[in-house]
Amino acid sequence: MGFTLYKEDPYLRENSRPLLRAPSFDPTTTPGPMLLRLLPCLLFGVSNTLAIIAPKVFIFTMFDLEANAWFGIPEFNVLEQNITVPGFSPLYPDAHCTSDGVVCLLTTGQAEINAAATISALVYSRTFNLTSTYFLVAGIAGINPKVTTIGSVTFARYAVQVALQYEIDAREIPAQFPTGYFPQGSTAPGQMPGSWDGTEHRAFLKGASAPSIVLCDTATSDVYWSGNLLGEAFENTTTIFTNGSATYCTTQQEDSATLGVLMRATMFHLVDFSRIIIMRSASDFDRPYPGQNGVANLLGDAPGINPSLLNLHLAGVKVIQGIVNEWDNKYAHGVQADNYIGDVFGSLGGEPDFGPGSIFKGSRITSWLYL
């Protein structure tokens, strides 16, 4: 697929301003009045008569600027239907869909708890049939300058929950430790974890349906870090947790949570774990340039924000059009991943190419939820 990504320039910054809207807070759609609105239905036994929407693509954004990148675009209008979903964020209570239901979008709210809660609410809502849906996580991210630069669009193969570790404050780090972070169940940085929680990382679809701009991997943490040492520490964590398979390049606060929920929903055949695309565009560096310090990197100018938001739409719309236009002859049936997909426990079957190996002896836990 051929298209050109935006780079930062003053013209673009000027012209991208209308995309940046303040979060709107509409009191009539916040979850507050939900109970009152449901009450008459409960009293009179009126069932939910909304047709079940079966989107071909569901776009996951994490905050308002990422969502706004998809509003007012020429290709499709996801504001033709607003569907309030119980369990969504108070700031973003609605899923948004085109009138034909082919493309939908939601906003999780930022960081791991919001992502897990919102995506759980979606997959168990019964408002949507998501069994054939492709999920496009479309967000901005910090970037490792060793891999690429701001404005780039990346597609991840692994999402690593890097901060799920022990931590010693910087002022109390033993002299022989290069960082205060070390894996759970280990005794020092650089060791394999002695115990796993299952959400540390996932491997999934290997760029099969995505334009290959940069294929590199993503690190999840609620903590927004900046600096050479933390950058290098989490680079090391990514290497250790994935047995050297993943390339640490983007940093964000949600993707392992989103994937953890989609993995569990896949066990009940509510979604398909091989239909997930993690697209993260680079808005800022995870560490300073030579001569700058970590705080200045974090709090200084962010010239990458606007191009990264514009590029989410530019690259993402190609992915969406590719899926929708070739639906019948290709994507409806799904893409067979040639790599392991799933969690460190092997819950979806197969042998993980990272961690200590499947705890289910390579077979899949089969569970059916009868709807």
Ligand X SMILES: *[C@@H]1O[C@H](CO)[C@@H](O)[C@H](O)[C@H]1NC(C)=O
Among 243, 292, 363, 367, binds ligand X (CB under 6 A): 243
Task: Output the CA–CA distances (angstroms, integers) from residue 345 to 136, 147, 352, 360, in the order listed.
Answer: 24, 29, 8, 7
What counts of helices (H) and strands (E) characterise the chain?
Answer: 8, 14
- Give the binding range for ligand X (CB under 6 A) out of 10-18, 197-205, 295-303, 350-358: 350-358
Rank residues 7 and 269 by Cβ distance to ligand X and give the closer one.
Answer: 269
Contact 146, 217 (CB under 8 A): no
Rank residues 176 and 366 by Cβ distance to ligand X and give the closer one.
Answer: 176
Rank residues 184 and 243 by Cβ distance to ligand X and give the closer one.
Answer: 243
How many other C-beta atoms lie within 10 A of the C-beta of residue 134?
Answer: 27
Among 79, 215, 302, 314, binds ligand X (CB under 6 A): 79
170/360 Cα distance (integer angstroms): 39
Residues 24-63 that bind ligand X (CB under 6 A): 52, 54
Closest residue by beta carbon to ligand X: 178
Residue from 150, 163, 164, 324 nearest 250 by CA: 150
- Give the binding range for ligand X (CB under 6 A) out of 14-22, 134-142, 226-234, 309-317: 226-234
Among 185, 353, 359, 363, binds ligand X (CB under 6 A): 353
Contact 242, 200 (CB under 8 A): no
- Give the binding range for ligand X (CB under 6 A) out of 188-196, 207-215, 247-255, 306-314: 188-196
Residue 353 structure tokens:
């190419």
Please list, in sequence order, all residues whose beta carbon lies within 8 angstroms of the beta carbon of residue 331, skipping any fewer than 6 positions away.
Answer: 56, 134, 209, 323
Number of residues binding to ligand X, judged by CB under 6 A: 25
Q: Is 371 in the site for ligand X (CB under 6 A)?
A: yes
- Tell me the HSE value of 313 on the side-chain side, using a 13 A CA sphere: 20
Q: What secondary structure does DSSP assign to 197-215, as a single string?
A: -S-SEEE---STTS--SEE
Rank residues 22 and 42 by Cβ distance to ligand X and give the closer one.
Answer: 22
Whole-number minimum distance, CB 231 to ligand X, in Å? Answer: 8
Long-range contact set of residues 349-354: C-beta below 8 Å, sequence gap at least 24: 352/203, 353/203, 353/242, 353/243, 353/245, 354/158, 354/201, 354/203, 354/241, 354/242, 354/243, 354/245, 354/246
Please list, in sequence order, all residues whose beta carbon lies within 8 angstroms of the beta carbon of residue 200, skipping any fewer than 6 positions away.
Answer: 160, 161, 164, 193, 241, 256, 344, 355
Q: Is 232 in the site for ligand X (CB under 6 A)?
A: yes
Whole-number minimum distance, CB 32 to ligand X, in Å? Answer: 17
Among 109, 139, 142, 189, binds ligand X (CB under 6 A): 189
Rank residues 80 and 100 by Cβ distance to ligand X and give the closer one.
Answer: 80
Whole-number minimum distance, CB 351 to ligand X, in Å? Answer: 7
Rank residues 200 and 304 by Cβ distance to ligand X and give the closer one.
Answer: 200
Residues 119-138 that bind ligand X (CB under 6 A): 129, 131-132
Whole-number minimum distance, CB 86 to ligand X, in Å? Answer: 17
Whole-number minimum distance, CB 356 to ligand X, in Å? Answer: 6
DSSP 148: -
311/307 Cα distance (integer angstroms): 6
Among 229, 314, 324, 335, binds ligand X (CB under 6 A): 229
Q: Is 190 in the site for ligand X (CB under 6 A)?
A: yes
Q: Is 178 in the site for ligand X (CB under 6 A)?
A: yes
Residues 191-220 that bind ligand X (CB under 6 A): 192
Task: Give the pairing type, strands 276-285 and 153-155.
Answer: antiparallel
Residues 309-328 that bind ligand X (CB under 6 A): none
Among 77, 84, 148, 236, binds ligand X (CB under 6 A): 236
Strand segments, DSSP code E, in 247-325 are 248-252, 276-285
Residue 318 structure tokens:
């190609």
List contacts with ligand X (CB under 6 A): 52, 54, 79-80, 82, 129, 131-132, 178-179, 189-190, 192, 229, 232-233, 236, 243, 352-357, 371
